[in-house]
Amino acid sequence: MDPRNAEQETQPEEPRFLNFKHQPEGTQRDGKPVLNRWSTTLTNGHDFPGAQAMLYAAGVPNKQAMKTQPHVGIASVWWEGNPCNMHLLDLGKEVKKNCVEDDMLAWQYNTVGVSDGITMGGEGMRFSLQTREIIADSIETVTCAQHHDACIAIPGCDKNMPGVIMAFARHNRPSLMIYGGSIKPGYSETLKKPINISTAYEGFGAYVYKTLKSAEEGKFSPDEIMEDIEKNACPGAGACGGMYTANTMSTSIEAMGLSLPNSSTTPAESPAKMRECAKAAAAIRVCMEQNITPRKLMTKASFENALVMMMALGGSTNAVLHLLAMAGTAGVPLSLDDFQRVSDKIPFLADLAPSGKYFAADLFEIGGMPAVMKLMVAAGLLNGDIPTVTGKTLKENIEPYPSLPQDQAIIRPLNNPIKKTGHIEILRGNLAPLGAVAKITGKEGLLFKGKALVFDKEHELDAALNAGTIPRGENVVVVVRYEGPKGGPGMPEQLKASAAIMGAKLTNIALITDGRYSGASHGFIVGHICPEAAVGGPVAVVRNGDVITIDAEKNRIDMDVSDEEIQRRLKEWKKPKAAVTRGVLAKYARLVGDASTGAMTDLF
C-alpha cells in the first residue's frame, strides 16, 4: 500500500452507539419476518409489566397487537410559528392513520425547530444550527428509549433534514424521511413578478440604498413596495421555494435513497404530498421486512449521488456542512476534497432561485426530481444502482416517471449548462488553511481582488448597511469574523447582509466570513473559513486595507500578507472572552467541531 494513500484506503471504524437487545435479523414468526424486533423486549412476556400497562393506556388495543405489531415512531419537526413546519402535524396524522390501517402501532411525537427566516440578522439566528443536533438527539432518544421498531420522520426547514438523517444513522432502525414540501411562490403587485422570502431581504438592500422601484415607475412608494413584499412573499405552508438549503437537502437525501420518489419536489400543500404520506406505511413495512436500515443506504456511493445533485441543481453551501455531519455520524469517509472533486466534473444545470428565476414548485410541474435524476442516470453522472427505502434501486424507482419535457427551460441540457462545472468551490490559502466554501455560479466572475473591510460581528456590518455606508466604486472584500461555530456561537447565517448587498447592487463587494450563508444567498460570497477567528485562525488577524484575492479557478483565498507577518500578528492576538457562558449555546460552543468536518458535536 502506498503510505500516502493509507488514510484513504483504511476502512473507517464502525460508529458505536448503545446496543439494544432485540430479535436477530431474519427471525421468523409463522413463516414471516418478525417486524417487532426491538419493541418485543417490552411486549413479550411479563418482564416489563409497567411498560405494557402504559402502552395499553397509549392506545394498544389488545394482547395480540401488543405481542405482534411493530411500533413505528412518527417524528415530525412540527410547530406553528413557521410556514416550513406549521403543516407537519397534519402530514403526520395521515402517516399514522395509514400505519394503523396496516396493522402497526404508531405514535406521533415532535421535536423543535427554529425559523431561519424569522431569526435572520438577529441574535436568534445563533440558535439555528444547533437545532440540527437537538433534532438528532430527540429522535435518537425517543426511538431508543421507547424501543421503536421503525421511524418515519417529517422535517420541513433546512436544519430539520440533516437532523433526522443523523438520528437515523445513530439508531439505525428501518426509517424513511418525508419532506414537508416547499412553499408556493408569492406574487408582488408592485413589482409585477413572483417573489419569495429572498425578495424581502434583497428588497431591503434596495430600500436602504434608495434603488427600490415599482414595475410601474412612481406608482408606489418604497414603503408601499416593502409592505407588499412582506405581505405576499410567503403565501402559505412549506419551506422556502428556491434551491435554498431545505430543497438542497431534500433533493440530496432523495438521491441517496432515503425518501420516496419525488418527495423532495412535491409541494407542501399539494394533494400529492398527502398521497406520499399515505404510501409511507407500506414503504416502512418493506424496510422492516427486508431489514433495510439507514446505514445500509448511507454509503459513499449514495453520498456521491447527493453531491452530484447538489452541483447540478445549484444547491446551498450549507449542504457541505450538513452532508459532512451526516456522513460523519454514519461513519462514511467524506471530506471537503470530495465536494471539489464532484464539482469539477458535474455541470451546473438548474435555473433555480436564488441565482435563477424558477422555483421548486415549477420543477415539480415538469416532472420533479425523478425526471432530473433520469437525465443524470442516463448520462452516467448519477448512480442508479444504489438501494433505497422502497426495496428497489434508485433507477427502478424513477423508471415509471416521465422524462423532462423537451420544451422546458428550468433544467439546461448537458451540452449547454449554465456553468460547465459545479458552483461550489473549496478554497484554501493563507486565509483559510483548513478550507472555506464558496458559492460561485460564474455570473459574478471567477476572480475577485479587493481591500479588506473588517467587521468583528455580523451586526456591525448590518449597521453599516442600514446606514448606507458600505462604499460603491473600488473593490472591497467585506470580512465578517467571530461568527463561526464556536465564535458566534452557533455559526449564524448571514442572508440579511448578503441579500442587502445584492439588492443594493453593490457589485464591487465580495463577502467572506467564518460564519455561513443562507441557501438564499448569492453573489461573490465565501463562508466556513477554517480555522475560525475564535480559535486563532488567520482570519482573526486580517486588518482593514489588507488586499484579499479570491480565485475560484485556482481554488485559493489569500491575503497579501507574508507568512512571517501573519505569525507575528497571531502572536499578538488575544482570544476574546466567550460571548455566552451559560445555557444551550455555551454547551454547543464547548462541544462543536470545526466547519470543515461538519460542525458536529459528537466527535471525540
Q: Where are the domains of the chain?
A: 70-183+239-398, 186-232, 424-597
Give the model's confidence band at 217: pLDDT under 50 very low, under 70 low, under 90 confident, else very high: confident
Distance in angstroms (rounded) separating the CA atoms of residues 153 and 425: 32
Report the pLDDT value the prediction gives residue 520, as an integer from 0 to 100.
Answer: 64
Q: Among all chains, which residue has been given the C-alpha cell 458552483?
A: 423
- CB neighbour class for 505 (10 Å; exposed up to 12, middle 13-18, buried from 19): middle
Distance in angstroms (rounded) separating the CA atoms of residues 41 and 21: 7
Report the pLDDT value the prediction gives residue 19, as an integer from 0 to 100.
Answer: 67
* Residues recognised as catalytic: 518
pLDDT at residue 503 tops 90: no
Report the pLDDT value the prediction gives residue 366, as an integer from 0 to 100.
Answer: 97
> C-alpha distances in angstroms, 172 versus 25, 72, 243?
13, 14, 29
Whole-number percent of the chain with pLDDT over 70:
97
Report the pLDDT value the prediction gives residue 7, as an integer from 0 to 100.
Answer: 40
In one-letter notation, the amino acid at residue 383 is N
Report the pLDDT value the prediction gives residue 505, as an integer from 0 to 100.
Answer: 83
The cell numbers describing 523, all together, are 453573489
Give the model's confidence band at 500: pLDDT under 50 very low, under 70 low, under 90 confident, else very high: confident
Report the pLDDT value the prediction gives residue 21, as an integer from 0 to 100.
Answer: 74
Check if the beta carbon of residue 475 is closer than 8 Å to that of residue 508.
Answer: yes
pLDDT in tens, 528-580: 999 999 999 999 999 999 999 999 999 999 999 999 999 999 999 999 999 89
pLDDT in tens, 276-294: 999 999 999 999 999 999 9
Report the pLDDT value the prediction gives residue 579, as an integer from 0 to 100.
Answer: 86
Report the pLDDT value the prediction gives residue 325, as an integer from 0 to 100.
Answer: 98
Report the pLDDT value the prediction gives residue 471, as an integer from 0 to 100.
Answer: 86
Average pLDDT for 435-454: 89
pLDDT at residue 472 tops 90: no
Which residues, 6+ apart, have CB-to-CB distance to 396 below 8 Å?
A: 390
3-state secondary structure at position 526: strand
Helices 318-330 and 300-313, interaxial angle, to 10°? Answer: 170
- Mean pLDDT score of the chain, rounded to an integer? 93
Give the model's confidence band at 202: pLDDT under 50 very low, under 70 low, under 90 confident, else very high: confident
Report the pLDDT value the prediction gives residue 6, as an integer from 0 to 100.
Answer: 38
pLDDT in tens, 421-442: 999 999 999 999 999 999 887 7
The neighbour count for residue 433, using CB atoms within 10 Å, is: 14
Average pLDDT for 569-595: 95
pLDDT in tens, 1-16: 333 343 444 455 677 7
Report the pLDDT value the prediction gives residue 473, as an integer from 0 to 100.
Answer: 87
Check if the beta carbon of residue 227 is closer than 8 Å to that of residue 188.
Answer: no
| CATH 3.90.950.20 for domain 424-597 | no
Whole-number percent of the chain with pLDDT over 90:
82
pLDDT in tens, 103-148: 999 999 999 999 988 998 889 999 999 999 999 999 999 999 999 9
Q: Which of these, 547, 487, 478, lies nearest to 510 by C-alpha position?
A: 478
Report the pLDDT value the prediction gives residue 25, as an integer from 0 to 100.
Answer: 79
Element (H, E) at 362: helix 360-365
Which residues, 6+ apart, have CB-to-CB distance to 256 below 8 Å?
A: 297, 298, 302, 303, 305, 306, 386
Average pLDDT for 187-197: 94
Report the pLDDT value the prediction gives residue 487, as an integer from 0 to 100.
Answer: 96
pLDDT at residue 214 tops 50: yes
pLDDT at residue 317 tops 60: yes
pLDDT at residue 469 tops 90: no
Model's pTM, two decimal places? 0.94
Report the pLDDT value the prediction gives residue 443, as an integer from 0 to 100.
Answer: 73
Task: Please indicate whether residue 77 or residue 21 has the higher confidence score (pLDDT).
Answer: 77
Average pLDDT for 75-89: 97
